[in-house]
């Protein structure tokens, strides 16, 4: 059965950042340069071809963009300037919008203004919410940061944290299940054993925590930068979700706070490196920046910076009122970052990447089984 | 008959001959033969000292025959004939024994090779005693030229010759000049107007008093030989009558062009049945009119271009038509500039972008978002009518090679890139001017690389697409090359005819005319008054067909007489 092409797909991907895909004439230099291009995953050439031809369903079901870490080698080797690396990046954005059933991700990726408005609205709502909580039913005082009578009592904030975390986890899980369905579940040709799912399960936390595959790219610096930002961010999340009450304690608990310091340094250093890189555009993977990338980096940097101000005001200078104001502003960065970017934008990759590694291993198992089966049915070759 | 004094010169050719032939043994064997005045062996006979050795020996030993046992006569016969001429000996009294290509290079057994070399040399010695001194002849060169075909090749050749102040007769079958190029809108890869290219030439041809333009005309017959052809041109006049005119020319340029492949022969492309499947020439017509539209007058949103229609497939023509790839890219550009939103899919077998600027043109066509799809030439796309719910006229199923996917693409208009083929009447033209055709009907060149515009008939040149598919620059280059070849001959004033040709001995000819039809070069004419056949020396290539065929033995092949051949055979067997 012939597959009907979608003639508009290539134009649609342009709104996700793809450019010059049509220049590719399939010499294969990109796949020769890519350390990850191995059967059954032909990175990035197959995706380039499917995109040129508008094979939408094939692309929806591919894991390949998630197996690419954009080292930029393919784009550098391309004799026609077809930017395969950037195409894979834009395909990841497009796939994120395909996994999201609400259509919000699609809206945000196609219109940076929509995402900006959403971020601002969430930011303002956060401000209103926190002020209502502080001055309204909390009856707290602007001059008290921690302990009794604090403007933002830590147990309330902690409850909010857990609520948001639960909500986001539910959304991410839905999207992840949809990703599994599109790439694996609906694929009738793929016979996957339950054992394969179990056996490979360790890959999920392994790739989540280490981004081990990223480290196999020829250039190591991007992986280290990513690991720094990721590690700091996860540390912060653990601190604020699990240990918030200790974090807000009047006494400085160094066993906890030292991690806060380290994470802040990691976040500021990492985002500064990425922001400077994207402004200078010297490295291939920093040449093209989608508006969502800017928003992502600015939100993280803003959150880290306001976190420092809040921390310094309270702990170094004893200015509780300044610390409270800084905290509201800090939350106005953090909440939009989590509430908008995790379910509908760039940050969602924290779920999709490890899931892709896991599913890739599962696919490879299934295909290997098929090959063994074929080999067994072939007649033994006679000696010449 | 004077006393025979033969000089035998055995060449070592470095180690080429000496490695497998004992040259001294050959020299030893022939030096005592009757008539041999002197025998020598030397490392390189063709070198200057070698040639001087031969000349010096001819003078000092009063040699009247020379045998050189060396390489093929195709390689160095001229060299050794010159050495003889320099010493005052008629060059035709020299004979070569080929002990390299036909002996040392093809044998490994040294003893046997040496024996064979002795036999070959002996044959040459035996033959050379019957050689006669021959003189080459000269004939007049008529400075006028006949150019057949008024396309870009014919126009260019005619102008080149006329600009050098020579008379040209330009014969064109139709009522207008320009040929196939006049049916084209823009040209690839620079998107220049074809009309501009032709108009300039047509205007200059019309204004040049040295060009006699004969429209609605065809060559009726051509007789004679290089420098002295008589052509009869048949012209249709306005009221249905026909005029014939005889013209004398020295050379002929055949520039009759090509015809396009009939797309209807590939039935499942549906040309002639599906209303919006058009050939490239039909699409050119739309472009020239300035309206790209479907049969229903709509602007097409989806256009598919299919390559290699009739080309590169054994079913029709195995060769590549060379211009269609770039023409297809040109269409993609023109479609995109007419309607930037147009979805252009270019369905090709292989993209041949070999010329100057073509690869860049291919790239810019990609940049305007042309979808390139590759198919296997034995697995052609299938075109069918779209359904009522589709937003297009047709759907094309392609087994896409690069992705190995079977896909379906929309199309409102399908352009079939029809290839070039030899004109239906090219056999007739070939017969009229006595040139050969290859298996596809293209006219054959004298040598595909070293002599691409000359033919095996002296004075007949071919230029442009009548010889093989080619683009405009190559066609123009060939036309100018043919003109240059002719100008060179005209500049010499006379033509030199090799002394080796066939001769009819009048007293023995019975007038049976068997040889007349047999001659592959049309070199034998028949004198009605004396009822004898006569060989035109200038046209004769000395192939010997008539000599062998003559029932009366009346035809003598000069330099290949019966005595000479018998003596050679006796020598090799001795």
**Helix or strand (DSSP H, E) at A172:** helix A154-180
Please tell me which residue of chain A has the smallest CA distance to B350. Answer: A25
Question: Domain-by-domain residue ranges, chain A?
Answer: 9-99, 104-367
Q: Does the pLDDT value for residue A370 go beyond 80?
A: no
Cβ under 8 Å to B: A residues 74-113: 80
Q: Does the pLDDT value for residue B498 go beyond 90?
A: no
Asked if A22 is an interface residue toward chain B (Cβ–Cβ < 8 A), one would say yes
Closest-CA distance of chain B to residue A22, Å: 5
Q: What is the pLDDT of residue A139?
A: 74
**How large is the ipTM?**
0.87
Instruction: Tell me the C-alpha distance between A144 and A153, whole Å.
Output: 10
Asked if A55 is an interface residue toward chain B (Cβ–Cβ < 8 A), one would say yes
Interface test with B, best of A2, A9, A58 (most B CBs within 10 A): A2
From-to residues of CATH 3.50.50.60 in chain B: 145-257+423-494, 261-419
Q: What is the pLDDT of residue A374?
A: 52
Pick from A2, A20, A46: CB nearest B408? A2
Classify domain B6-134 at the CATH class level: alpha beta
Give the domain B261-419 fold: FAD/NAD(P)-binding domain (3.50.50)
Please tell me which residue of chain B has the smallest CA distance to A46. Answer: B403
Q: What is the dihedral of CA B202, B204, B209, B210, to 10 degrees?
A: -80
Which residue's structure tokens are 């797909």? A9
Q: What is the pLDDT of residue A379?
A: 43
CB contact under 8 A, B403 and A46: yes
Contacts of B414 (CB under 8 A, 6+ apart): B269, B274, B276, B277, B278, B303, B304, B305, B306, B383, B394, B396
**End-to-end alpha carbon distance in chain B:** 24
Q: Which residues of A fall within a CB distance of 8 Å from B406?
A: 1-3
CB contact under 8 A, A22 and B369: yes
Q: Which residues of A fall within a CB distance of 8 Å from B362?
A: 25
Q: Does the pLDDT value for residue B473 go beyond 60?
A: yes
Closest-CA distance of chain A to residue B82, Å: 57
CB contact under 8 A, A55 and B405: yes
Q: What is the pLDDT of residue B320?
A: 96
For chain B, percent helix, then strand, then coil, each to nearest 5? 35, 25, 40
B398: its two tokens: 């392609």
Asked if B536 is an interface residue toward chain A (Cβ–Cβ < 8 A), one would say no
**A9-99 homologous superfamily:** Alpha-helical ferredoxin (1.10.1060.10)
Q: Is A20 left (phi over 0), alpha (psi -120 to 50) or beta?
A: left
- Name the pLDDT band for B163 (thresholds 50, 70, 90): very high
For residue A214, the number of C-alpha atoms closer than 13 Å in the C-beta half-sphere is 20
pTM of the model: 0.85
Q: Beta-carbon neighbour count of residue B72 at 10 Å?
A: 14
From-to residues of CATH 3.40.50 in chain B: 6-134
Cβ under 8 Å to A: B residues 364-383: 366-367, 369-373
- Name the pLDDT band for A245 (thresholds 50, 70, 90): confident
Q: Which residues of B fall within a CB distance of 8 Å from A25?
A: 351, 362, 366, 372
Q: What is the pLDDT of residue A1?
A: 79
Q: Per-residue pLDDT tens for A255-275? A: 888 898 999 999 999 999 999
Beta strands across the sheet bearing B36-42? B36-42, B6-11, B65-70, B94-98
Q: Which residues of B fall within a CB distance of 8 Å from A52?
A: 371-372
Asked if A64 is an interface residue toward chain B (Cβ–Cβ < 8 A), one would say no
- Name the pLDDT band for A384 (thresholds 50, 70, 90): very low
- Name the pLDDT band for A372 (thresholds 50, 70, 90): low
Residues above pLDDT 70, as percent of chain B: 100
Classify domain B145-257+423-494 at the CATH class level: alpha beta
Q: What is the pLDDT of residue A373?
A: 56
- Tell me which of B496 and B216 has the higher pLDDT: B216
CB contact under 8 A, A22 and B367: yes
Q: What is the pLDDT of residue A383?
A: 42
Architecture per CATH, B499-558: 2-Layer Sandwich (3.30)
Q: Per-residue pLDDT tens for A17-39? A: 998 999 999 999 999 999 888 88
Please tell me which residue of chain B has the smallest CA distance to A48. Answer: B403
- Tell me which of A160 and A56 has the higher pLDDT: A56
């Amino acid at each position: 059965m012939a597959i009907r092409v979608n003639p508009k797909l290539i134009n649609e991907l342009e709104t996700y950042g793809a450019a010059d895909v049509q220049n590719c004439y399939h010499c294969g230099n990109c796949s020769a340069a890519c350390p990850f291009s191995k059967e059954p995953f032909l990175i990035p050439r197959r995706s380039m071809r499917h995109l040129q031809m508008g094979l939408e369903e094939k692309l929806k079901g591919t894991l390949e963009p998630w197996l690419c870490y954009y080292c930029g080698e393919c784009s550098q080797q391309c004799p026609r300037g077809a930017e395969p690396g950037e195409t894979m990046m834009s395909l990841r954005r497009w796939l994120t919008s395909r996994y999201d059933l609400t259509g919000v991700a699609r809206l945000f990726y196609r219109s940076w203004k929509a995402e900006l408005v959403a971020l601002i609205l969430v930011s303002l709502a956060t401000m209103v919410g926190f002020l209502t909580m502080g001055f309204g039913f909390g009856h707290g005082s602007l001059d008290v940061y921690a302990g009794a009578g604090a403007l933002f009592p830590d147990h309330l904030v902690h409850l909010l944290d857990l609520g948001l975390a639960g909500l986001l986890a539910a959304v991410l899980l839905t999207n992840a299940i949809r990703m599994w369905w599109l790439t694996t579940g609906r694929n009738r040709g793929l016979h996957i054993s339950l054992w394969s799912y179990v056996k490979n399960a360790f890959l999920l936390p392994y790739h989540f925590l280490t981004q081990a595959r990223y480290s196999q790219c020829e250039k190591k610096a991007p992986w280290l930068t990513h690991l720094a930002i990721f590690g700091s961010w996860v540390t912060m999340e653990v601190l604020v979700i699990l240990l918030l009450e200790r974090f807000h304690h009047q006494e400085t608990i160094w066993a906890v706070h030292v991690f806060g310091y380290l994470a802040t340094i990691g976040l500021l250093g990492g985002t500064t490196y990425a922001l400077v890189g994207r402004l200078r555009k010297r490295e291939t993977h920093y040449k093209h920046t989608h508006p969502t990338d800017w928003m992502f980096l600015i939100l993280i940097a803003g959150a880290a910076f306001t976190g420092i101000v809040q921390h310094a005001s309270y702990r170094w200078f004893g200015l509780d009122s300044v610390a409270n104001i800084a905290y509201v502003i800090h939350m106005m960065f953090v909440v939009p970052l989590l509430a908008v970017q995790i379910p509908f934008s760039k940050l969602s990759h924290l779920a999709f990447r490890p899931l892709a590694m896991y599913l890739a291993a599962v696919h490879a198992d299934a295909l290997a089984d098929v090959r063994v089966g074929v080999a067994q049915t072939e007649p033994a070759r006679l000696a010449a | 008959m004077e006393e025979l004094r033969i000089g035998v010169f055995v060449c070592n050719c470095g180690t080429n001959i000496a490695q497998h032939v004992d040259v001294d043994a050959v020299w030893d064997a022939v030096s005592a033969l009757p008539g041999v005045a002197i025998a020598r062996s030397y490392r390189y006979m063709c070198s200057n000292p070698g040639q001087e050795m031969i000349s010096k020996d001819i003078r000092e030993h009063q040699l009247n025959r020379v045998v050189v046992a060396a390489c093929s006569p195709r390689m160095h016969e001229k060299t050794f004939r010159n050495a003889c001429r320099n010493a005052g000996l008629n060059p035709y009294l020299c004979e070569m024994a080929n002990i390299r290509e036909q002996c040392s290079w093809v044998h490994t057994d040294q003893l046997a090779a040496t024996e064979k070399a002795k036999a070959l040399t002996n044959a040459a010695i035996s033959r050379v005693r019957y050689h006669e001194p021959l003189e080459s002849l000269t004939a007049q060169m008529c400075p006028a030229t006949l150019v057949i075909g008024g396309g870009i090749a014919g126009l260019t050749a005619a102008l080149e010759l006329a600009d050098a102040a020579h008379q040209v007769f330009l014969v064109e079958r139709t009522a207008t000049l320009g040929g196939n190029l006049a049916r084209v809108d823009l040209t690839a890869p620079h998107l220049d107007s074809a009309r501009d290219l032709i108009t300039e030439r047509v205007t200059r041809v019309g204004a040049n008093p040295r060009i006699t333009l004969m429209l609605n005309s065809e060559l009726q017959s051509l007789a004679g030989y290089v420098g002295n052809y008589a052509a009869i041109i048949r012209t249709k006049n306005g009221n249905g009558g026909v005029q014939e005119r005889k013209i004398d020319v020295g050379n002929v340029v055949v520039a009759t062009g090509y015809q396009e492949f009939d797309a209807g022969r590939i039935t499942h492309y549906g040309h002639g049945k599906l209303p919006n499947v058009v050939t490239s020439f039909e699409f050119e017509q739309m472009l020239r009119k300035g309206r790209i539209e479907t049969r229903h007058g709509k602007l097409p949103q989806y256009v598919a271009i299919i390559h290699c229609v009739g080309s590169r497939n054994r079913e029709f023509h195995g060769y590549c038509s060379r211009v269609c790839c770039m023409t297809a890219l040109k269409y993609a550009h023109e479609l995109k500039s007419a309607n930037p939103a147009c979805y252009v899919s270019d369905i090709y077998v292989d993209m041949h972008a070999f010329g100057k600027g073509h690869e860049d043109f291919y790239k810019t066509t990609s940049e305007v978002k042309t979808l390139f799809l590759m198919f296997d030439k034995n697995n052609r796309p299938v075109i069918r009518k779209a359904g009522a719910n589709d937003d297009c006229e047709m759907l094309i199923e392609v087994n896409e090679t690069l992705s190995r996917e079977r896909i379906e693409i929309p199309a409102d208009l399908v352009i079939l890139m029809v290839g070039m083929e030899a004109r239906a009447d090219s056999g007739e033209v070939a017969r009229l001017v006595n040139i050969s055709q290859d298996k596809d009907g293209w006219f054959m060149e004298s040598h595909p690389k070293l002599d691409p515009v000359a033919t095996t008939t002296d004075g007949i040149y071919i230029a442009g697409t009548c010889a093989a598919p080619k683009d405009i620059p190559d066609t123009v280059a060939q036309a100018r090359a043919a003109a240059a070849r002719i100008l060179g001959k005209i500049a010499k004033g006379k033509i030199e005819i090799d002394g080796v040709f066939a001769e009819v001995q009048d007293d023995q000819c019975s007038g049976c005319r068997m040889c007349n039809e047999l001659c592959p070069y049309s070199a034998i004419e028949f004198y009605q008054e004396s009822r004898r056949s006569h060989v035109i020396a200038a046209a004769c290539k000395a192939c010997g067909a008539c000599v062998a065929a003559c029932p009366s033995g009346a035809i003598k092949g000069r330099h290949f007489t019966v005595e000479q051949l018998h003596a050679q055979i006796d020598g090799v067997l001795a």
